[in-house]
Amino acid sequence: MTDPARAQVALLIDFENLVYGLQDIHGDAYTEEVDPELLFRLSEEYGQVVLANAYADWRFREVNQFQTDLYRLGVELIHVFAKKQLARYKNAVDVKMAVDAIETIWKLPHVDVFVIVSGDRDFIHVLKTLRRYGKTIIGVSPAASVSDDFAALCDRFIRYGALASTYGAESVASVTSVPVNHGLDLVRETLRRIVSERPNGLKGALIKPLLRRRLSVTFDESEYGFSRMTDLLLAMPDVVQVVFDPTGGDVTVRPSDAKNATGPVVASSDPRARRELLISRAGLRNYRFEPDPTIRRQVLQELFETMGTGLPFTPGDVFEKILEEDESLSMSLSLLSKYHAILWQSRIFQLERNQPDRPMRERLMRLDPTVLTADDLIYRYEASITYKLVTAARELGEAITPESLCEIMGLEVNEENCAYCERLITYATI
């Protein structure tokens, strides 16, 4: 059953448009760029994916070589015969994909968000219809240039090329890792003008539409390496001051030289509200962090038992084996991928040599020799989570204590657990 408290998401992929668009950009190396899981990670930011379709003429090797990846993600493959014009075949999925999008409005009225992977200008009539029914539209296009009409009708538009750096398992997001370039300088100056016109502040949700209006309808923070607009704003303390809502609501953005400007601020001393804000700021929900330690550690235990044989493995094979043996049906590919992303960031994997041309999910790897037990794996995972919390707390002008970390980790606050959390904090700050 779906959770009614979460938004429901439909992911519709013009897979031919995606593959051939990447082929135009990258040539024969396009296969390394096709990663459907990135689209899932983006979609899951907006809620629970209840419908996922990929449209193509699956007779052609360029697209059918990715069928296994799509099956593992639970994507339904919709076959649409291409139209032959003279000596070439023409993408014919637009009509079928458009019909399915409109039918979804009626058949699945609870779907709130549509992630459309296309960029084709012929699809703008469907986008207009979705907007009339109050749906949120996230557009993704592989093309270097895309129709402004398509981008303008999306609530958020992202170029596919930005997804790997923003949502990829190998990416460790850091506002300090983004180089200052001419594009970001222009964003900085435009943002400075926007906030100077509203010295009393404005809600964070208004910032992006104003930037899109003044810069380009295709503007998105992912182009600069940020997964969230708030991260981009926090990377510019010389331009803006970000004030956090302790209830988890929208931030307020003010000029950096506004009266009493002190950087990120939380106007509440309620420990629960501040803890929730910290979890949100650290992005733990994006990684499906499980606050119940029993459940969380059981998943990690199963990962260790599958990976810790001493033999090399691929992440895909590990996930497939766990899913086959999961009688409770509590696991999912997406969930396991989130855990793997955190473990990857904790640097516990050693890649086998001579496989630079293989996608990361298909590369052979082993556990680091220091990871000898499931407890070692659990410790490294929770240390990586702690690192994210410590970093978020520092950005908010605060510090993580062993007691507060115990509460976030779902551990009873006692001497033993506080000592454990103290070790996590120390490990995460070295």
393-402 contacts: CB < 8 A, separation 24 or more? 393/278, 395/234, 395/264, 395/281, 396/244, 396/264, 396/266, 396/277, 396/278, 396/281, 397/262, 397/263, 397/264, 397/265, 398/274, 398/278, 400/425
| Cα distance between residue 190 and residue 236, in whole Å | 12
Domain membership flag for residue 277: no
Low-confidence stretches of the chain (pLDDT beneath 70): 1-6, 82-92, 143-145, 165-182, 227, 245-249, 259-274, 327-330, 355-361
Q: Are residues 378 and 306 in the same domain?
A: yes
Q: Are residues 69 and 119 in the same domain?
A: yes
Q: Are residues 237 and 316 in the same domain?
A: no
| Cα distance between residue 387 and residue 167, in whole Å | 18
Q: Are residues 196 and 111 in the same domain?
A: no
Domain membership flag for residue 280: no
Q: Which pLDDT belongs to residue 1? A: 33
Domain membership flag for residue 1: no
Q: Which pLDDT belongs to residue 203? A: 86
Q: Are residues 155 and 201 in the same domain?
A: no
Domain membership flag for residue 167: no
User: How many residues make up the chain in this entry?
Assistant: 430
Q: Are residues 100 and 204 in the same domain?
A: no
Q: Are residues 105 and 62 in the same domain?
A: yes
Phi, psi (deg, nearest 5) at residue 279: -60, -45
Domain membership flag for residue 344: yes
Domain membership flag for residue 283: no
Q: Are residues 297 and 250 in the same domain?
A: no
CB 265 within 8 A of CB 241: yes
| Cα distance between residue 402 and residue 408, in whole Å | 10
Total domains present in the chain = 3
C-beta atoms surrounding 129 within 10 Å: 14
Q: Give the CATH number of the domain where residue 338 resides.
A: 1.20.120.1790
1-7 contacts: CB < 8 A, separation 24 or more? 2/48, 2/50, 2/110, 3/48, 4/110, 6/47, 6/48, 7/46, 7/47, 7/48, 7/112, 7/113, 7/136
Q: Are residues 145 and 199 in the same domain?
A: no
Q: Give the CATH number of the domain where residue 100 resides.
A: 3.40.50.1010
Q: Which pLDDT belongs to residue 244? A: 74
Q: What is the pLDDT of residues 29-45, one digit of tens each?
A: 788 788 888 888 888 77
Where in the sequence is the domain holding 366, given as residue range(s)? 293-429
Q: Are residues 107 and 209 in the same domain?
A: no
Q: Are residues 351 and 234 in the same domain?
A: no
DSSP track, 146-184 = --HHHHHTSSEEEEGGGHHHHH-TT----GGGSPP-HHH
| Cα distance between residue 261 and residue 253, in whole Å | 11
Q: Which pLDDT belongs to residue 377? A: 95
Domain membership flag for residue 416: yes
Q: Are residues 217 and 350 in the same domain?
A: no
Domain membership flag for residue 340: yes
DSSP track, 46-112 = SSEEEEEEEEE-TTSHHHHTTHHHHHHTTPEEEE-PPEEETTEEE--HHHHHHHHHHHHHHH-TTEE
Q: Which pLDDT belongs to residue 166? A: 64
